[in-house]
Amino acid sequence: MKPSRSIWILGIALAGLILLLAPLPAAAQSCALCYTQAASSGSRMIQALKSGIIILIAPPTLMSLGVVFVCYRRRNKTRDDVAESDHQWDNHSSPDDPHDSPPALKPKDW
């Protein structure tokens, strides 16, 4: 018996979910030098680390939001272009009229 396509998709989604939820050890958290340096620093150094984290996170986040915004604004552009081109073909008065049909392509036009 051959499994259906929906069972395969469900299996792949379940495997992906298990991989995402499985706890993996974070190698950066066990760095003794980083931990020691951050723990022994004063409040000024901790503030500098926090500012550095913000500076490193802000540009990728803003760029991602920009891409999402552009995609959202242009989501219907191709759909509208296709609808306009289909509308041009629908304006023919009768399909039997030879004057309304598009010209045939010649080999040199390819």
What percent of the chain has a predicted confidence (pLDDT) above 90?
A: 17
Mean pLDDT of 65-82: 83
Residue 109: pLDDT band with limits 50, 70, 90: low
C-alpha span between 102 and 92 (Å, rounded)? 10
Please, how many CA atoms are within 13 Å of residue 20, restricted to the half-sphere of its CB? 6
The yes-or-no verdict on residue 13 having pLDDT over 80 is: yes
Please choose, from the candidates 24, 23, 40, 20, the residue with its C-alpha nearest in 3D space to the C-alpha of residue 32: 40
Residue 62: pLDDT band with limits 50, 70, 90: very high
C-alpha span between 91 and 97 (Å, rounded)? 12
DSSP notation for 32-60: HHHHHHHHHS-HHHHHHHHHHHHHHHHHH
Mean pLDDT of 60-80: 87
The yes-or-no verdict on residue 63 having pLDDT over 90 is: yes
C-alpha span between 90 and 84 (Å, rounded)? 10
- Token code pair at residue 21: 């939820």
Least confident of 2-11, 31-40, 100-109: 100-109
